Amino acid sequence: MTTLRRRLMSRAADIACSAVPRRRPSPARLAGARIVAHRGNTEAAYPARENTLAAFDACLALGVFGIEFDVQWTADGVPVVTHDAVLAPGGEALAGLGFEALRARSDIPSLADVVDRFGSALHLMIELKSQTFDDDREPALAAVLAPLEAGRDYHLLCLDPSLLGKLKRFPRTALIAVAETNTREIVEQALALDLGGVAGHYVLLNRRIRRRLAARDMRVGVGMVPNTRVLRRELALGADFIFTDRAAPLVRALARWRAGRGGIL
């Protein structure tokens, strides 16, 4: 499926689900709400570039539960926080640059920078890219994350469940497989590997799938939640993690609902 078609389908789902009025979730659901800012995105009022320390600072100030970000690797094996494997605007591969050379040319943070600055304050949802990750990377990744507790302080995510299944230094409960439009396939792989959960589009993770995951005590992450009506839907369905590019209005809505303001919306 093309990227354009996925976007159109996602947009259609957002429109349909947003048209349905939703009641304020129960106090228990509100207390357990976990908003995760995708790549550190909050909303247009926060202009910081995604996957940067400035973006994560904005998330911390906002009071989100966690941040999602991507990890790539430099030529000398340093994990860095960026979505793309190339350095803009020239398109030079990160894999061809040592970390010090990258630091001199870019503000891309290392994973250690993020752990040191936010590891005790924000839950880290760390997406591994299967194209740039191999078995030799795991010791370095584990060393950087050693000050934190897997599952409590961070989860590791990947579009390729088989990569997660190969990890030896992290508990399965801290590993989450990510689905695009191949939700059923990813769910079956995650179940077979006994991973900690599955994340995917909120519509494609239907009630039947969620019941199967719950029966195995596996977590459910849903994205990308666009507004408060869809947020209410997902809280009512018991989603464990709410991924969004618009964290600010969702966090503010949670504050209102927890204070008892806002009925049906």
pLDDT per residue as tens digits for the range 65-85: 999 999 999 999 999 999 999
pLDDT for residue 184 is more than 80? yes
pLDDT number for residue 94: 92
pLDDT tens, residue by residue, 85-125: 998 877 899 999 999 999 999 999 999 999 999 999 999 99
Place of tokens 């990308």: 224
Measured CA to CA in angstroms, residue 132 lies from 57, 135, 145, 156, 236 at distances of 27, 10, 18, 15, 37
Q: Which residue has the higher pLDDT, 91 or 35?
A: 35
Ranking 2-11, 80-89, 134-143, 216-225 by mean pLDDT, the lowest is 2-11
Q: Which residue has the higher pLDDT, 98 or 4?
A: 98
CATH classification code of 25-258: 3.20.20.190
In the chain, what is the greatest distance between 2 CA atoms, to the nearest angstrom?
A: 54
User: DSSP character for 24?
Assistant: P
| Model pTM score | 0.96
Torsion angle of alpha carbons 71, 74, 79, 81, nearest 10°?
Answer: -40
